[in-house]
Amino acid sequence: MKLLVVTCLKECLGDISKIFKEANIDVFSTSEIIGQKQGKGTNFLEDWFASGDEKVESMMIFTFTPSANAKQGMELIKIYNKTHDNNSPVRTFIMPVEKFL
């Protein structure tokens, strides 16, 4: 079991939902977030959130899923980022789940 977490701009939520479906992830949760960063980054494309007073309406999407589905979702998001030209790439990470009920 893995915890797959994705952050993206609000307008990407539909695309991420399609990616999850393709990765056999049918159940997930979403939360609206405001991305902020204090200080100035050296490369905007490598920053997760805006710098300074800028605020970005974003989404955090997360799911508990089998390892294979999490890996497939991450690979599909990697492809998505390469094929979609945007200034704020979708970010994702996988965390192990040691125990659950």
39-75, pLDDT tens digit by residue? 665 554 555 554 555 667 899 999 999 999 999 999 9
Contact 92, 33 (CB under 8 A): no
Q: Supply the DSSP symbol for 86.
A: -
Q: What was the pLDDT predicted at 100?
A: 85
The whole domain housing 10 covers 2-96
User: What is the torsion angle, in degrees rounded to the nearest 10, for the CA atoms of residue 49, residue 98, residue 29 and residue 31?
Assistant: -30
- Establish if 101 belongs to a structural domain: no
Q: Which SS3 state, helix, strand or coil, does residue 84 take? A: coil
Question: What CATH number is associated with residue 25?
Answer: 3.30.70.120
- Establish if 39 belongs to a structural domain: yes
- Establish if 28 belongs to a structural domain: yes
Rounded to an integer, the average pLDDT of 67-84 is: 96
Q: What was the pLDDT predicted at 34?
A: 84
Could you give the C-alpha distances from 26 to 16, 60, 61, 65, 86, in angstroms and in order? 12, 16, 12, 9, 26
Q: pTM to 2 decimals?
A: 0.80
What is the domain count for the chain? 1
- Establish if 40 belongs to a structural domain: yes
Q: What was the pLDDT predicted at 87?
A: 78
Say how far apart CA 47 and CA 56 lie, in whole Å: 12
Q: What was the pLDDT predicted at 12?
A: 93
